[in-house]
């Protein structure tokens, strides 16, 4: 299932409503993790990608949820940067915390640049 969203932070509520419909019968903790990760990716795309749209695909195969973001913005592989989270939370920079959140709440992350599009996929077993 695919839906296209404008590159506007105000679209988050539409995304949440759409996700609620597409993720029936998922426990609330898993759904909270999914929504938090969607928010992290979407906000970064809105702020930094300079894309004209953001496509979000959701696919459920048995106990696996797969979420894929596709955009036509500036090519950027978020997984290529090493995650530099310091153990001392007072010294953490904002850079890299989003990736840390994704890595700790999703089971796998994948990035590809295909036909001029950024394709970022997150998978979670529920």
pLDDT in tens, 3-49: 999 999 999 999 999 999 888 889 999 999 999 999 999 999 999 99
CATH number at residue 98: 3.30.565.10
Residue 97: the pLDDT is: 84
Q: How many CB atoms lie within 10 A of CB 6?
A: 13
Could you tell me the maximum CA-CA distance found in the chain, to the nearest angstrom?
41
Question: Are the beta carbons of 72 and 53 closer than 8 angstroms?
Answer: yes
Domain count, the chain: 1
Q: pLDDT tens across 71-122, in order?
A: 999 999 999 865 444 444 444 445 568 889 999 999 999 999 999 999 999 9
Residue 22: the pLDDT is: 87
Q: Which domain holds residue 52?
A: 2-125
Handedness of CA 108, 112, 118, 119 (dihedral sign): negative
Distance between CA atoms of residues 86 and 76, nearest Å: 23
- DSSP per residue, 3-35: EEE-S-GGGHHHHHHHHHHHTTT--HHHHHHHH
């Amino acid at each position: 299932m695919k839906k296209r969203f404008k590159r506007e932070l105000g679209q988050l509520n539409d995304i949440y409503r759409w996700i609620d419909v597409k993720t029936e019968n998922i426990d609330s903790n898993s759904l909270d993790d999914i929504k938090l990760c969607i928010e992290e990716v979407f906000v970064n795309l809105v702020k930094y990608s300079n894309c004209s749209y953001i496509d979000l695909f959701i696919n459920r195969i048995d106990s696996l949820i797969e979420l894929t973001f596709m955009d036509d913005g500036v090519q950027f592989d978020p997984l290529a940067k090493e995650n530099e989270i310091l153990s001392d939370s007072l010294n953490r920079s904002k850079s890299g915390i989003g990736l840390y959140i994704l890595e700790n709440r999703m089971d796998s992350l994948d990035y590809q640049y295909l036909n001029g599009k950024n394709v970022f996929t997150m998978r979670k077993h529920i």
